[in-house]
Structure 1
Amino acid sequence: MNPNKALWEKGDFTQIAETMRESGTALVAQLGVTKGLTVLDLGCGDGTTAIPEATLGATVLGVDIASNLVDAGNRRAQAKGLTNCTFQEGDASNLQGLADQSFDLVVSIFGAMFAPRPFDVAREMVRVTKPGGKIVMGNWIPGDPTLVAQILKISSAYTPPPPEGFISPMLWGVESHVIERFESAGVPKENISFVRDTFTFTAPYSPSEFMHRFKQYYGPTMNAFEAAEKNGKTADLEHELDALFNSHNQSATTATTSIPATFLRVTVRR
């Protein structure tokens, strides 16, 4: 089993994705998506950005490595009557079956950054983008004080060290690494731009309940809790994460959740 596939098929990421819908729709509204545009949504999950892209009239293909998320995405598209949005299984490091220069826009929001072999990922995204088209990535930033970077930082402190040769997905949040990867795929540096952006997680339940959903359904956090349990540190990890979620909550009431997280928005012009 591909370890990356196993990670994202673990649990049920749709439980987290439900808190991302509002920001996903708001982000897509900024991308200039119009009727007739062909869009590849890479590492799409169950369609947090793919569904809004299709709602705006684009022809959207969502690709994700997790078969359970692909199935969930297809169910969501069908339930909304979106015949212009389909989901299929695939690996961002090797988009076999997708033709060169076949998409006007390639979008990957917190998706392709988690695929191994980042130079292959950049090359594949460039390969399938039409000349004059663009690639937009949303990537978490290493060491950032906001929610997701801190969840991953805390979780990593409880898990065994990664295997030799492992490249942290968080390096997609470092501008110099992004430039190096896309330059190696033939994109000049001046065609790559960056902006710090905010993605807000919203939920009709408390931050502590939100933390428990990460514990139960989010692959990296699930792995951290499994490792912590072996070392008798489950309570420590839970305490750290609970404090993090509650301290970052900006909702007017503790019974609901609104937590902003900073990310690096990357735009690559082909």
Structure 2
Amino acid sequence: MNPNKVLWEKGDFTRIAENMRESGSDLVAKIGITKGLKVLDLGCGDGTTAIPSAKLGADVTGVDIASNLVEAGNLRAKKEGLTNIIFKEGDATDLNELKDHSFDMVVSIFGAMFAPKPFDVAKEMVRVTRPGGKIVMGNWIPGDPTLVAQISSSYTPPPPDGFISPMLWGVEDNVIERFESAGVAKQKISFVRDTYTFNADCTPTELVALFKTYYGPTMNAFEAAEKNDKASDLQTELEALFNSQNKSEIINTTSIPATFLRVTVLI
């Protein structure tokens, strides 16, 4: 079994994605998606950016490695009455079912960065984008003080041999190297620091509980911590982290802004 597939089918990421919807819509609104555009959303989850793209009139294909998220995405699209979007299972390192130059835009927001073989991922994204099209990635930044870069970092189990950290997609030089290897000139790659906000109708401590129960990487971190009798330490650390970064002034709600690297690649 593909370990990346196992990770993202673990728990129920839709419960986390519910707290990401607003920022997903905001991001889609500013990256140039328009009616009739053919868009691939890679590592789409259950449609946090794919569904807002379809609502803007784009013809959207969402691809994710997790079959449960693909099913959830198609269900969401059906409930929204959207006929211009389809979710399919697929691997960002090998998009063999997708033809060359078949999309005007490839979008991957905190998705393809988690796939192994990053050079293959870059090559595939470039391959399926038409000349004159573009790729937009949202990637978490290693060492950043905001939430996602810090969560579980001290407790995750040791990676397998040959593992390449997903966080390296948040380093500009690495991004340039990967897309240059796929044939893209450096001057066609640009970067901006952007903010993605987790908004939840619960306390920060309750949000930690959601991550612990439903988010694969955090579930793995707790499993590893329990083996070392450090689960309570991890719990305390995450609760302190979430509470310290909560910017909401409304009781029993959480609003945590997280910095990410927005990458634009012109093909």
Q: Would you call these one fold, judging by a TM-score over 0.5?
A: yes
Are the aligned partners of 2:12 and 2:215 in contact in 1 as well (CA < 8 Å)? yes
Partner of 1:206: 203
SS, match of residue 94 in structure 2: coil
Shift of 1:129: 0.1
SS, match of residue 98 in structure 2: coil
Shift of 1:159: 2.9
142-151 or 227-236: bigger deviation:
227-236
- For the pair 1:246 / 2:267, whether they are aligned, the reply is no
1:66-115: CA deviations, max 9, x gaps? 00000000000000000001100000000011000000000000000000
Partner of 1:82: 82
TM (normalized to structure 1)?
A: 0.98
Quote the Cα distance in structure 2 between the aligned partners of 1:185 and 1:75.
Answer: 35
Partner of 2:178: 181
250-259 or 129-138: bigger deviation:
250-259
Quote the Cα distance in structure 2 between the aligned partners of 1:65 and 1:161.
Answer: 23
Output the aligned Cα RMSD: 0.6
SS, match of residue 195 in structure 1: strand
The 5-angstrom pairing of residues 27-106 of structure 1 reads 27-106=27-106
- For the pair 1:222 / 2:229, whether they are aligned, the reply is no
SS, match of residue 82 in structure 1: coil
- For the pair 1:234 / 2:231, whether they are aligned, the reply is yes
SS, match of residue 255 in structure 2: strand
Are the aligned partners of 1:207 and 1:254 in contact in 2 as well (CA < 8 Å)? no
Shift of 1:217: 0.5
TM (normalized to structure 2)?
A: 0.99
Quote the Cα distance in structure 2 between the aligned partners of 1:27 and 1:76.
Answer: 19
Quote the Cα distance in structure 1 between the aligned partners of 2:128 and 2:243.
Answer: 42
Shift of 1:255: 0.7
Quote the Cα distance in structure 1 between the aligned partners of 2:32 and 2:175.
Answer: 23
Are the aligned partners of 2:139 and 2:167 in contact in 1 as well (CA < 8 Å)? yes
- For the pair 1:165 / 2:195, whether they are aligned, the reply is no
Identity %: 76
Quote the Cα distance in structure 2 between the aligned partners of 1:91 and 1:250.
Answer: 36
Shift of 1:256: 0.1
Are the aligned partners of 1:139 and 1:263 in contact in 2 as well (CA < 8 Å)? yes
Gaps of 5+ in 2: none
- For the pair 1:156 / 2:153, whether they are aligned, the reply is yes
Look up the equivalent residue of 1:237 and give its one-letter code: L
Shift of 1:254: 4.0
1:137-180: CA deviations, max 9, x gaps? 000000000010011xxx23223321121100000000000000
SS, match of residue 255 in structure 1: coil
Quote the Cα distance in structure 1 between the aligned partners of 2:237 and 2:196.
Answer: 22
Quote the Cα distance in structure 2 between the aligned partners of 1:48 and 1:19.
Answer: 10
Are the aligned partners of 1:205 and 1:255 in contact in 2 as well (CA < 8 Å)? yes
Partner of 1:115: 115
